Amino acid sequence: MTLHDILQAKGTEIHSIGPDATLDEVISELVRYNIGSLIVCESAARGTDIRMIGIITERDVMRKQDACQSPLPQLRVADTMSDHLITAEPDDRIEHAMRLMTQHRIRHLPVLQQGQLCGVISIGDIVKAHHDQLEMENHFMTS
Protein backbone atom coordinates (compact mmCIF):
# COMPACT_ATOMS: atom_id res chain seq x y z
CA MET A 1 0.00 0.00 0.00
CA THR A 2 1.29 3.47 -0.89
CA LEU A 3 0.65 6.94 0.49
CA HIS A 4 -1.25 7.67 -2.72
CA ASP A 5 -3.72 4.94 -1.72
CA ILE A 6 -4.20 6.53 1.71
CA LEU A 7 -4.71 10.00 0.20
CA GLN A 8 -7.27 8.61 -2.24
CA ALA A 9 -9.24 7.12 0.66
CA LYS A 10 -9.01 10.06 3.09
CA GLY A 11 -8.92 12.94 0.64
CA THR A 12 -6.33 15.57 -0.09
CA GLU A 13 -7.74 18.55 1.79
CA ILE A 14 -4.90 20.60 3.28
CA HIS A 15 -5.38 23.04 6.12
CA SER A 16 -2.86 25.86 6.28
CA ILE A 17 -2.03 29.06 8.10
CA GLY A 18 0.33 31.99 7.50
CA PRO A 19 3.56 32.63 9.41
CA ASP A 20 2.24 35.90 10.89
CA ALA A 21 -0.82 34.27 12.49
CA THR A 22 -0.97 33.97 16.26
CA LEU A 23 -0.96 30.74 18.22
CA ASP A 24 -4.46 31.66 19.34
CA GLU A 25 -5.51 31.45 15.67
CA VAL A 26 -3.68 28.13 15.30
CA ILE A 27 -5.66 26.62 18.17
CA SER A 28 -8.93 27.89 16.68
CA GLU A 29 -8.13 26.24 13.33
CA LEU A 30 -7.00 22.97 14.90
CA VAL A 31 -10.20 22.77 16.93
CA ARG A 32 -12.44 23.85 14.03
CA TYR A 33 -11.17 21.08 11.77
CA ASN A 34 -10.41 18.53 14.54
CA ILE A 35 -6.84 18.09 13.31
CA GLY A 36 -3.39 18.05 14.91
CA SER A 37 -1.33 20.18 12.52
CA LEU A 38 -1.44 23.00 10.01
CA ILE A 39 0.87 23.54 7.06
CA VAL A 40 2.52 26.96 7.26
CA CYS A 41 2.42 28.67 3.87
CA GLU A 42 3.37 32.06 2.54
CA SER A 43 2.60 33.75 -0.72
CA ALA A 44 5.48 34.22 -3.11
CA ALA A 45 6.44 37.71 -4.22
CA ARG A 46 3.98 37.65 -7.13
CA GLY A 47 1.05 37.04 -4.80
CA THR A 48 -0.58 33.94 -6.23
CA ASP A 49 2.13 31.34 -5.76
CA ILE A 50 1.90 29.76 -2.34
CA ARG A 51 4.79 27.84 -0.87
CA MET A 52 5.06 25.61 2.15
CA ILE A 53 7.58 26.92 4.67
CA GLY A 54 6.82 24.77 7.70
CA ILE A 55 4.36 22.89 9.85
CA ILE A 56 2.87 23.72 13.23
CA THR A 57 1.41 21.07 15.49
CA GLU A 58 -0.41 20.84 18.80
CA ARG A 59 2.89 19.86 20.43
CA ASP A 60 4.64 22.93 19.02
CA VAL A 61 1.98 25.19 20.55
CA MET A 62 2.20 23.52 23.96
CA ARG A 63 6.00 23.63 24.02
CA LYS A 64 6.08 27.31 23.03
CA GLN A 65 3.47 28.21 25.64
CA ASP A 66 5.41 26.36 28.33
CA ALA A 67 8.73 27.95 27.35
CA CYS A 68 7.48 31.54 26.99
CA GLN A 69 4.61 31.82 29.46
CA SER A 70 3.18 34.54 27.18
CA PRO A 71 -0.46 34.85 26.14
CA LEU A 72 -1.14 32.91 22.95
CA PRO A 73 -2.34 35.98 21.01
CA GLN A 74 1.18 37.43 21.47
CA LEU A 75 3.00 34.40 20.06
CA ARG A 76 3.51 34.01 16.30
CA VAL A 77 3.49 30.93 14.09
CA ALA A 78 6.83 31.90 12.50
CA ASP A 79 8.52 31.73 15.90
CA THR A 80 6.96 28.39 16.79
CA MET A 81 6.66 26.26 13.63
CA SER A 82 8.98 23.47 12.57
CA ASP A 83 10.79 24.54 9.42
CA HIS A 84 12.90 21.41 9.08
CA LEU A 85 10.31 19.42 7.15
CA ILE A 86 10.32 15.68 6.83
CA THR A 87 8.30 14.80 3.74
CA ALA A 88 7.30 11.81 1.66
CA GLU A 89 6.08 11.15 -1.86
CA PRO A 90 2.78 9.58 -3.00
CA ASP A 91 4.54 6.46 -4.33
CA ASP A 92 6.26 5.79 -0.99
CA ARG A 93 5.10 2.63 0.72
CA ILE A 94 3.30 2.82 4.04
CA GLU A 95 6.25 1.06 5.74
CA HIS A 96 8.57 3.85 4.60
CA ALA A 97 6.25 6.48 6.08
CA MET A 98 6.04 4.52 9.34
CA ARG A 99 9.84 4.40 9.50
CA LEU A 100 10.16 8.15 8.85
CA MET A 101 7.56 9.05 11.44
CA THR A 102 9.12 6.78 14.06
CA GLN A 103 12.70 7.83 13.33
CA HIS A 104 11.91 11.56 13.47
CA ARG A 105 9.24 11.30 16.18
CA ILE A 106 6.61 13.10 14.12
CA ARG A 107 2.88 12.52 13.77
CA HIS A 108 2.19 14.43 10.53
CA LEU A 109 3.92 13.89 7.21
CA PRO A 110 3.46 16.30 4.29
CA VAL A 111 3.30 14.44 0.97
CA LEU A 112 4.93 16.16 -2.01
CA GLN A 113 4.55 15.28 -5.66
CA GLN A 114 7.17 16.92 -7.87
CA GLY A 115 7.82 19.47 -5.12
CA GLN A 116 4.14 20.41 -4.72
CA LEU A 117 2.18 19.63 -1.57
CA CYS A 118 -0.57 17.12 -2.41
CA GLY A 119 -1.67 16.03 1.05
CA VAL A 120 -0.78 15.34 4.66
CA ILE A 121 -0.69 11.90 6.24
CA SER A 122 -1.12 11.54 10.01
CA ILE A 123 -0.04 8.67 12.21
CA GLY A 124 -3.75 7.90 12.60
CA ASP A 125 -4.09 7.55 8.83
CA ILE A 126 -1.14 5.14 8.81
CA VAL A 127 -2.54 3.04 11.66
CA LYS A 128 -5.98 2.86 10.01
CA ALA A 129 -4.54 1.88 6.61
CA HIS A 130 -2.27 -0.74 8.18
CA HIS A 131 -5.15 -2.14 10.22
CA ASP A 132 -7.41 -2.30 7.16
CA GLN A 133 -4.67 -4.06 5.20
CA LEU A 134 -4.15 -6.65 7.96
CA GLU A 135 -7.89 -7.17 8.31
CA MET A 136 -8.22 -7.81 4.57
CA GLU A 137 -5.30 -10.27 4.61
CA ASN A 138 -6.84 -12.04 7.60
CA HIS A 139 -10.18 -12.29 5.78
CA PHE A 140 -8.55 -13.85 2.72
CA MET A 141 -6.57 -16.32 4.82
CA THR A 142 -9.64 -17.50 6.70
CA SER A 143 -11.82 -17.73 3.58
User: Angle formed by the axes of helices 3-10 and 94-104, to 10°?
Assistant: 90
**Res. 45: pLDDT tops 60:** no
Tens-digit pLDDT profile for residues 75-131: 999 999 999 999 999 999 999 999 999 999 999 999 999 989 999 999 999 999 989
Cα torsion through 132, 135, 137, 142, rounded to 10 = -160
Tens-digit pLDDT profile for residues 5-19: 999 999 989 999 999
pLDDT category at 137 given cuts 50, 70, 90 is: confident
The architecture that CATH gives domain 3-142 is Roll (3.10)
**Res. 36: pLDDT tops 60:** yes
Residue type, 65: Q
